[in-house]
Amino acid sequence: MINQTKAEVSYITPENKPWFKNWPNEVPKTLIYPQVPLFEVLNQTVQSYPKNVAISYLGREITYEELGLLSDQFASALVSLGVKKGDCVAIFLPNVPQFIIAYYGILKAGAVLTAVSPLHREREVEHQLADSEAQTIVALDSLFPVVEVVWQKTKLTHAIVTSIDEYAKTPAQKQSLQKKPNVSSFQDFLKTGTQKPKVTVDPAEDLAALQYTGGTTGTPKAAMLTHKNLISNAVSFANWIKGTESDNFLAALPMFHIYGMTTSLNVPIVLASKMVLIPKFDPAKVLETIQQHKVTVYCGSPTMYSILLANPALSKYDLTSIRVCISGASPLPPQVQKKFMEITGGLLAEGYGLTEASPVTHCSPVDKTMKTVRVGSIGLPIPGTDAKIVDAETGTKTLAAGETGELAVTGPQVMKGYWRRPDETALVLRDGWLLTGDIARMDEKGYFYITDRKKDLIKYKDYSVYPREIEDVLYEHPAVKLCVVIGKPESAVGEIPKAFVVLKDGMAVSEQELVAFVNGKVAPYKAIRELELHKELPLSSAGKVLRRSLRDEEINPRSHNL
């Protein structure tokens, strides 16, 4: 664990917090957060565990000592290029070693990073680059044509281009990069550094990342995350999962997404653990990797776990090395949780977070000595985090245990605000509390339950219908692989619940049968009025079904193939 010098204590002072009475063993209630820049996490791990394997990728292993040197070289090259403290540098890469090298190199140079999803198209890339005012970008060669299209519409002045197998044990034959103005290959760029960075970083005030969010509900906006935000969340989560340097982390979540960035990148570096990188989620590759590398920690999404369970070859793999898995990004179906734990023998704990909180705020205890796993609960606030339920209308009244309202959180991981959007910041940050936009309740023992997204609530006549409740029933059907429920506008009643379902391979069931299955288990006002079977559903980079995209399609239908 990172040295605890020059640190501050962060804890929740009121002793009437009910979750402290059900606190997991060996997890401290009080944590010491280092008051250092995020890159010092890597520096201290390099100093203490230089020979530990940091990255395993396509047959090659990179030690922490090597990672430290490579990120130093990248930082030096950025400074020689003219990058100054506070400048923004974009990363347009999947999970490859170059992402990690560039990530920590940018921070060491005193710059601010913004991670761009490789799934983004020209319009989305242009918006993020222009809004963040990034002048330098690190991009995969196959993605560089997108950069070229938008270059003139942004403030870009330089690009560093790399390939997916550049750090593989046996890279493909290197193809020379076509000479273009202000474009460098990754390896050539590393050699250009002549100046060692000399920057002073204030962890509490200086930004580490502009992390974009909100793309499914409107124009994406950047959460301003400081070094303190990111380091405190990594330290808290590392303690919560009781991580050690012996853990092997499967990095299948995209690191450009805040969930993967914290739990699969920064947390392993805090612990001096190994990261096994998966550039693109492939169920067969994931199962093979868990077995080969004896993966102990895997953070994923419900969609990922559902797809793994549905794989016909699942029984051929030994997954018993898994100690703990965390599910986030969207609600975890109870049937998926139970089945995955039966197969692995490990714990699959549901957690919760959001980009604006770096992201983790809650997680179910990772403790086998506790008698029961509360299926359907996002767990307790992690160390250093306080939470409450407030009325959804005004956000000013704190509700009692058992009452349903909007979840509000506070802690050292909460963002400074939205980049250049003071009005939107004021809507969600109030007196240090972040209004999450999620409808939730807390039971008398301090466990929290997400009822639904505030914006996704279906209003059928005068009734409130929560999509998750219907989705959980759908997942009880043995043929259902993935599903999502939306509110479809209907003038006579407001909205009607409509379901979109993907069946497991080889399974057959009619739309009418699924409707009858669900409607026989819910109140009449919650009944599904429409259901469509699809071969696939639109997913975000974190494996979250894009509910808003499907709803928008219902409002403004156009030709499409799902």
Q: Which long-range contacts (CB under 8 A, 24 or more apart) does 212-216 make?
A: 212/114, 212/128, 212/355, 213/258, 213/354, 213/355, 213/356, 215/124, 215/540, 216/540, 216/546, 216/547, 216/548, 216/549
Residue ranges with strand state E in 268-358? 274-277, 297-300, 324-327, 347-353
- Mean pLDDT along residues 409-417: 97
Q: What is the pLDDT of residue 557?
A: 64
The CA distance from 78 to 135, in Å, is: 11
Query: Percent helix, strand, coil in the chain (nearest 5)?
Result: 30, 25, 45
Give the tens place of pLDDT for each residue, 42-56. 999 999 999 999 999
> Residue range 472-498: average pLDDT?
90
pLDDT tier, 173 (very low <50, low <70, confident <90, very high otherwise): low
Is residue 330 within 8 A of residue 353, CB to CB? The reply is no
Q: Is the pLDDT of residue 519 over 80?
A: yes
Task: Indicate the SS3 state at residue 164.
Answer: coil
Lowest average pLDDT, out of 7-16, 31-40, 50-59, 86-95, goes to 7-16
Burial call 396-431: b when 16+ CB within 10 Å, e when fewer: eeebeeeebbbbbbbbbbbbbbbbeeeebbeebbee
Give the number of C-alpha atoms closer than 13 A to the C-alpha of residue 167, restricted to the C-beta side.
Answer: 23
Compute the chain's Rg from CA coordinates: 23
pLDDT at 219: 63
**Residue 72 confidence (pLDDT) above 50:** yes
DSSP codes, 513-562: HHHHHHHTTS-GGG--SEEEE-S---B-TTS-B-HHHHHHHHHS------
Calpha distance 562→553 (Å, rounded):
11
Mean pLDDT of 414-420: 97
Q: Give the model's pLDDT for residue 1.
A: 53
Contact 240, 252 (CB under 8 A): no
Given a cut of 70, whether residue 13 has pLDDT beyond it is: no
pLDDT band at 254 (very low <50, low <70, confident <90, very high): very high
Q: For residues 484 and 466, give the distance between their C-alpha atoms in angstroms, rounded to a whole number.
A: 11
218: pLDDT strictly greater than 50: no
Tokens 């895997």 correspond to 298
Measured at the CA of 162, the angle between CA 275 and CA 264, to 5 degrees, comes to 20
Q: What is the mean pLDDT of residues 425-437?
A: 94
Is pLDDT of 561 > 50? Answer: no
Mean of the pLDDT values across residues 6-26? 70
**Rounded to an integer, what distance in angstroms lies between the CA atom of residue 378 and that of residue 434?**
17
Q: Which CATH superfamily is domain 458-555 in?
A: ANL, C-terminal domain (3.30.300.30)
Mean pLDDT of 310-336: 92
At a CB cut-off of 8 Å and minimum separation 6, what does 200 contact? Answer: none
Q: What share of the chain has pLDDT > 70, as a percent?
A: 93
171 in Cβ contact with 60 (< 8 Å): no
For the chain, where do the domains classified as CATH 3.30.300.30 start and end? Answer: 458-555
pLDDT tens across 270-282, in order? 999 999 999 999 9
Class of domain 7-442 (CATH, top level): alpha beta
Q: List where CATH 3.40.50.12780 sits in the chain.
A: 7-442
